[in-house]
A and B are shown apart, each in its own frame.
Chain A
Amino acid sequence: MPIRSPFESSIAKPGQGTVVLSLLPPNNPTLTTLTYKYPLKLVPRAPGFVPSTDPAALSDSCPSRPIHLYLLTYGGGLLPGDHIEVSIKLEPRTRMVVTTPQGSTKIFKTEPGSANGIKLIKGHRKQMPANQHLADMSQQSLDVRIGRQAALCYLPDPSVPFKNSRYAQVQTFTVDAAAKGNERSSLCVLDWVTQGRTSRGENWNFRFWRGRNEVWATDEKTGKSRLLLRDSVILDDETEDLDDDSDEDLDEGAGESGLNSHSGRADTPPPQAGLVPLNVIQERTRPHGVVGTLILSGPVFDSLGSYLMQQFNSQPRIGSRNWSSTAPSSAPEPSLSTKGDVTWTAARVRAGFVLVKFGAKDFETAKDWLGGLLREEGSITREFGEEALFCL
C-alpha cells in the first residue's frame, strides 16, 4: 500500500471532502478514504458495469471497474461564502467517474455590499467575514491527482450563475510525469457555464464568474512540477470599480433611508450602471448563451480526441462556394454565429492534449451537441458506462 493520505485522520472542515481510490488486489477498486462535510456531500457508487475486455478495447491491461462519485451540495448549488474543497486521489490503474446529478450547479446571488444574504442562513453555513469580496463569493476548488494508468472522467452539469452572483472555481489535475506512452494518466474534463436562468430572463447578469482548469505533471521522485495546460475564463461585469464609489456615495447620501436602499439594491443594478450601455459579459459572450471547454488527455481518451479533431477539421469551410456546374446553387450561406448552432473549435495543443472550446445558443443545444458527439464516438460509454454521460 502506498503512503497514507495526511488528510485521512483530520476532521474535514465545512465544505471539505477527501476521496482516495485504491486498487486492491487482484483487481478490486475500493474507496480507502471518503470524508466530507456539510454543505458538501459525496456519494460513491460502484456500478455493476465492467468495461469490455474484447480486443477492440483500448487499454492493453485489463481496465479496472470505474467507481462513480456524485458530487452534491445541499440545495443543488452554492450560496455566497460557501467554499467547497474537494481533493481526490486516484491511485494507479483506478478509474473514476465524477458527475453532479443535480441538473445544474446553481450559484446563488450575492447581496451587494451587505451580509444580509448570508445572515439568513447564519448558523447553518460557515461565514467568512474576513474579506468582503471573498466573503460573498462562492468558491469551489477541486484537486485531483491521477496516478499512472488511472483515468478520470468528469462530465458535470454546467454552472448556472444567478443574477448578481459571484463565483470562482479552481480545478487542478495532477498527472504522473514519469509515466510514458500507454502508462500515462488519462483525463476528460468538462467545464461549462450558462447565462443564468433563462426562464427568469437572466442573460449573463451575474457579477463575476471565473473558471480555471490546470493540468500539472508532477514527478514524485524529484518533486518537480510543470504546467501542462491552463484554461482560464473570466467573466467579470467590471462594475467593481464603479461599485466602490457608489457604495461610498450611497452611504453618505442615503444615511437615513439606508434600510430602503439596502433592500432595494439587491435586485436593482447600482445607480452608475446606467452609464454602462451594455452588460460587459453579454458583449463578450455574444451570441452565445453557454460557453464551455472540454479537456482530453491520455491513452483512454486518445480515440475520442482524434475523433473530435477529425470532426472539427471536416466542418464545412466558412465562405466556401460550390463551384461545380452540375449542382444547383445551394441555399444562401447560413451565418454560422447566428444560426443557433454550436460554434466550436478543437485543437491538439501540447503534450497530446485535445482542447475543445464551444459556444452555443442555450444549454439544451450544447448538451445535445456534446452528448451526441460523445455517444456517437462511443469510447466513454465503452470504458466508463452510459452513466458517465449522465449530465449530457
Chain B
Amino acid sequence: MLLDTTQSQHLQTEIAQLEARLHDMRAQLDASQYPSPPASHPDQKTAWMMPSDIYKHDNIHNKFQAGSVHSSSLHALLLLSDSALPLGSFAYSSGLESYLAHNKPLRANPITSFHHFLKLSIASIASTSLPYVLAGYREPDTLETLDNDLDASTPCIVAQRASIAQGRALIGVWERAFRMSFAGPTATDTGAEVAVTAMDDFSDLLKSCSDEDNEYDLGPKGHFAPLWGVVCRAMGLDLHQAAYIFVLNHAKAVLSAAVRASVMGPYQAQNILASQTLQDTIMKRIEREWDTEVEQAGQVVPALDLWVGRHELLYSRIFNS
C-alpha cells in the first residue's frame, strides 16, 4: 500500500513534468509560427509566463533535470539580459538627463518625477521601437528594410546615434561571441537559420557599404531594435521573451542611468526594477504593441522627442543621450 502511494506520487510528478515540457515546447512552436496576441484571450495568459513559472511547482523536490534548462532557452535568455553584455547601453540615459535638466522644479521630489519619466520612457520605446523588434523576429529576412524604415522614423540625431551604436555593438557581440555557439547545426528552428543568414548578410552589407551616402540611396545603418529581434530569433528565444527582455533592458538602462545621475540609490533602483508595477507596465505595453505593424509605429510621448533632441544643448552631460 505504501509502495503504491509513493509510486503514484512518482507517476504524478512525472506527469506534471511531462506536461510542463509539453507546454514549453508548444509555446516554442507557437512562437515559431508567429502567434496571435494573447491580449484578447485570457486563457492564453500562460504563454506570458517565463519558463521558470512553469517549472516552479515540480522542480523543487525533484532530482536534477538537465533537460529543463536545455529545452527552455534559459541560457540565451540570461546572456542577453546580462548587464555586462558589451553593448555600451550604460552610456545612454534615453533622455533622462535632459528631462532632469528641463524639469528642475520637480527635483523637490525626484523619485516621483523619475517614476513619471520611466513610465513615459517605456511607453515611448514600446510604441516606437518594439514593433521593429517584433518584425525583426517574425521576418528576419526583411532586416534591411526595417533598418531603413527605423532610421527614417528616428526624429533626432541623439536618438539615432544611441540606437546605431548599440545595434552595431550587438552585431559585434553576435559575430565574435554568440555566432559560434548558436549558429550551429543544432538549431532546430528553421527560423533561427534564416535569422543567422540575415545577420550575416546584414553585417556584410554594413562592411561593404562606404560611408559616403548617395542623396536618396542611403546605406544600412544598424539600428538596435530590428537587430535585437533577429538575434533573439537566432538564439532560440521565443517572441515573448525577445520582446520582454528588450523592454526590460531598456528599463534597466534608464534605472542605471538614474543611479549614476544621483536620482536614487542602487537599492531603490533594484526595488523599482523588481516591482510588480514595473512588470505590469512592461507587459501592458508589449500587449498593446503586439500587433502593431512597423508602419503604424509612432511616438506616443511627443515631449520625450523634445527632451532627447535637446540633450545636445546641455551644458554638461554625463551620458550620450
- A330 contacts partner chain B, Cβ-Cβ < 8 Å: no
Q: State A338–B104 Cα separation when bound (angstroms).
A: 10
**B 149-178 contacts with A by CB, 8 A:** 149, 151-158, 160
Task: Report chain B residues within 8 Å CB of A286.
Answer: 303
Give 1 or 0 for each of A334-351: 1 = CB within 8 Å of chain B CB. Answer: 011110000111111111
Bound-state Cα–Cα, A359 to B104, Å = 18
Count: A-B pairs, CB below 8 Å? 131
Interface of B is mostly: helix
Q: How many residues of B sit at the interface, in one of the four size bands?
A: 35 or more
A230 within 8 A of B: yes
Q: Which of A86-108 contact B (CB under 8 A)?
A: none
Are B102 and A217 in touch, CB under 8 angstroms?
A: no
Q: Is A251 an interface residue (CB 8 A)?
A: no
A212 within 8 A of B: yes
Closest CB of chain B to A345's CB: distance in Å? 3
Enumerate B63-86 residues with CB–CB distance to A below 8 Å: none
Bound-state Cα–Cα, A175 to B149, Å: 16
B151 to chain A, nearest CB (A): 6
User: Chain A residue with minimal CB distance to B297?
Assistant: A232
Does A317 have its Cβ within 8 Å of any Cβ on chain B?
yes
CB distance B216 to A357 under 8 Å? no
Residues of A within 8 A of B215 (CB): 180-181, 184, 351-352
Cβ of A283 within 8 Å of any chain B Cβ, yes or no, is yes
The residue that B309 contacts in the complex, of A228, A283, A345, with Cβ under 8 A, is A345
CB atoms of B120 and A335 under 8 A apart:
no
Asked whether A284 lies within 8 Å of B316 as measured between CB atoms, the reply is no
Instruction: Tell me the bound Cα distance from A228 to B301 in angstroms.
Output: 22
B123 within 8 A of A: yes
Binds B, one of A3-11, A233-241, A367-375: A233-241
Determine the chain B residues whose CB is within 8 A of the CB of A267 once the complex forms.
Answer: none
- B276-301: CB near A (< 8 Å → 1, else 0) gives 00000000000010000000111111
Asked if B314 is at the interface (CB within 8 A of a chain A CB), the reply is yes
**Chain B CB within 8 A of A226 CB:** yes
**Is the Cβ of A233 less than 8 Å from the Cβ of B303?**
no
Q: Which residues of A contact B309 (CB under 8 A)?
A: 345-347, 357
**Which residues of B94-124 have CB atoms within 8 Å of chain A's CB atoms?**
98, 101-105, 116, 120, 123
Chain A 318-333, CB within 8 Å of chain B: the 1/0 string? 1111000000000001
Contact status B157-A318, CB under 8 Å: no
Residues of A within 8 A of B155 (CB): 231, 293, 347, 349, 355, 357
Is A358 positioned at the interface, with any CB of B under 8 Å from its CB? yes
Contact of B152 among A177, A285, A336, A350 (CB under 8 A): A350
User: How many A residues have CB within 8 A of the partner chain?
Assistant: 55
Distance of A232 Cα from B116 Cα, bound (Å): 23
A contact residues around B105 at 8 Å (CB): 335, 338
- Contact: B305 with A357, CB < 8 Å? yes
Question: How far apart sit A243 and B103, CA to CA, in the bound complex (Å)?
Answer: 34
Report whether A359 and B306 are in contact in the complex, using a CB–CB cutoff of 8 Å. Answer: yes
**Alpha-carbon distance A315/B155, docked complex (angstroms):** 19
Tell me whether B217 is interfacial, beta carbon within 8 Å: yes
Q: Is B127 an interface residue (CB 8 A)?
A: yes
Q: Does B15 contact A (CB under 8 A)?
A: no
B155's nearest neighbour on chain A, judged by CB, is: A355
Measured in the bound complex, the distance between the Cα atoms of B151 and A317 in whole Å is 27
Q: What's the least CB distance linking B271 to chain A, in Å?
A: 22
- Closest 7 A/B residue pairs (Cβ): A345-B309, A232-B298, A320-B315, A317-B315, A217-B216, A291-B302, A230-B153
Which B residues have a C-beta under 8 Å from some C-beta of A? Answer: 98, 101-105, 116, 120, 123, 127, 148-149, 151-158, 160, 213, 215-218, 288, 296-306, 309-310, 312-316
Extra pairs beyond A318-B314, A338-B105, A352-B215 (18, CB < 8 Å): A175-B216, A177-B216, A227-B148, A229-B152, A232-B296, A234-B127, A235-B302, A238-B288, A284-B120, A284-B300, A288-B302, A316-B313, A321-B315, A333-B104, A335-B103, A350-B152, A357-B302, A359-B302
* 11 intermolecular pairs with C-beta atoms under 8 Å apart: A184-B215, A217-B216, A226-B148, A226-B218, A232-B297, A284-B304, A288-B303, A318-B101, A347-B155, A351-B213, A357-B155
